[in-house]
Amino acid sequence: MLLIAGIVPDKDFPLTMGEVKLSDDGNSLIVNGLSIPCAQGTAAMVSAALTVTEYLGIDAPHALLAGDTGSGTGSRRIYNYLIENIEKLAPKVLTLHYCLPILGLIKQLDTALKKCERKPIMIGDAGSMYAVKAAGLAPDFDIFTPDASELAFLADPGAIHPAYIKRHLFEGDIIKAPELISQAYEIKGAAKVLLVKGAVDYIAVEGKIIEKIDEPNIPELECIGGTGDTITGMVTALAFAGLELTQAAIISAKANRTAGKLARVTPASRVGEIIRHLPLVLQENLCCWSQMK
């Protein structure tokens, strides 16, 4: 099972868990009969993962979702569901996305994960990544996918919440990424693999940068909400397909850029336009990425 967990910005959306399907019009995701827009928050990540799994002909993602607009209610429901059921679910890959950083619950989840007969490949992004780092559990995760500003939080030894970092999140600078990557590993604030998303994408393993990706250069992607989520969704699906994590990260970063180029994105574009081009990107690069099949 490929399982993606995260909140949706609707306080009335109930806790739901199930296999993801695309609506007939292609604009929504359906989970247990409930519908959410494809390009909204966690759904953008799930949409990208679903597109890749469909192309590869493998099992569709499962999603664990709950509504939360800042109260923490939905986030707690997600954490508690995973704590109580993760051994039975036994996912091959577990990606944690938008959830409030509730340290006590992420620690309980980490304990539950260690009881699994086979620990899932663990991927962290957004609020869940903050919680993991703040709880001192980053080395237990296989890959984090921060943007440049989130990397500043991972690299700050005194920060237990993004509001209290020395470098404000909005001051992130991709040029400083190599220095911050090194610092994040030194303080054990990083997962085994980092995929830092930005104008330049960096892939690092245990503190060493192994790949720097800056082509094709599509500055407009930086203006479109959800483009980082699509990368993480692709990484999740490719890891589920059996690719080695660094390879999955490199392919995902390159594919996102190429899809943006093919979509001829502008700052007004929506992330769904990029997701729709992913099958073509994968098809065109099949000779280079033959291990995906």
What is the pLDDT, as a whole number, of residue 270?
A: 86
What is the pLDDT, as a whole number, of residue 169?
A: 44
What is the pLDDT, as a whole number, of residue 122?
A: 98
pLDDT in tens, the chain (293 residues): 999 999 999 999 999 999 999 999 888 999 999 999 987 779 999 999 999 999 999 999 999 999 999 999 999 999 999 999 999 999 999 999 999 999 999 999 999 999 999 999 999 998 899 999 999 999 999 999 999 889 988 998 877 665 545 554 444 566 789 999 999 999 999 999 999 999 999 999 999 999 999 999 988 888 777 888 999 999 999 999 999 999 999 999 999 999 999 989 888 888 889 999 999 898 776 455 555 44
What is the pLDDT, as a whole number, of residue 161?
A: 60
Cα torsion through 138, 134, 180, 219, rounded to 10? 90
Question: Which CB contacts under 8 angstroms, 24+ apart, belong to 128-133?
Answer: 128/5, 128/6, 128/96, 128/97, 128/98, 128/99, 128/101, 129/96, 129/154, 130/101, 130/161, 130/162, 131/99, 131/100, 131/101, 131/102, 131/103, 131/105, 131/106, 132/96, 132/106, 132/191, 133/189, 133/190
From residue 62, how far is each of 3, 45, 199, 259 by CA, in Å?
5, 12, 31, 24
CATH 3.40.1190.20, applies to 2-292: yes
